[in-house]
Amino acid sequence: MALTGAGVSVPSGIPDFRSAGTGLWENVNPMEVAHIDAFRRDPKVFWRFYGDRFQTLEDKVPNGAHRALATLEERGLLDAVVTQNIDRLHRMAGSKELVEVHGTIDHSSCLRDGSQYAIDDVRARLAADPEGVPRCDCGEPLKPDVVLFGEFLPEGALERAFSLAAGADVLLCVGSSLEVYPIAQLPALTRQAGGAVAIVTQGETPFDARATMKLSGDVVDELEALVAAV
């Protein structure tokens, strides 16, 4: 299986979270703009930030790393991709067995009546609202179907991720800092079950010393080389 983090989407022009100068949290406090309490307290401030995120992601397309993972799955060499990303790029690249543990921007929902709206509809409602808040037909603000700070990860996705890690012969960690729990537990789970862990990321991770292999090159180059080799 593969576990992917923000680094796999950087070649598509999507900034990661903490890199100096370019990270998403470089100039904002995530607890003020990406916490469930912030959404409930002031949807206008929340959507000022998330509306920009939606706009930033609108024209982004999968890169060679996303396509390489989809190719490995198509060849029967990869059971699934577990991703911490919300950007939809794995699905756009053709990954079928995809576990989005932090949710997806593909749709947003109303917390009052549960109505769900696709991203294009949400963008239209965002643009049409005088306060810049996409709203349900009932009038309530819509919330992106992503896991915000202060929320639990979806139980089904988390169980699937842990089950895949426990049964993997190889866990391929791509572009993840392996610092965000509980997903950061997956490499240890694979190793405990007798599997190997291969890390492909340009930065250091807490699991580097215990990994079977660590590759520090560009994620696109490394994964395209892997596809060519197998």
Instruction: Say how far apart CA 213 and CA 208 lie, in whole Å.
Output: 8
Q: Residue 193: enclosing H or E segment and its boundaries?
A: none
Residue type, position 5, single letter: G
Other Cβ atoms closer than 10 A to 181: 8
Q: How big is the CA angle at 43 (ends 154 and 41), to the nearest 5 degrees? A: 85
Location of structure tokens 């060519």? 228
- For residues 64-94, one letter each, b for 16 or more C-beta atoms within 10 angstroms of the residue's C-beta and e for the rest, the string is bbbbbbbbbbeeeebebbbbbbbbbbbbebe
The span from the CA of 212 to the CA of 207, in Å, is: 10
**Residue 66 annotated in active site:** no
Comparing C-alpha atoms, which of 145, 214, 206, 153 is closest to residue 178?
206
Which listed residue (35, 90, 102, 107) is catalytic?
102
* Structure tokens given for 18: 């903490």
DSSP string covering 16-43:
-SS-TTT-TTSSS-HHHHSBHHHHHH-H
Residue type, 9: S
Residues acting as catalytic residues? 102
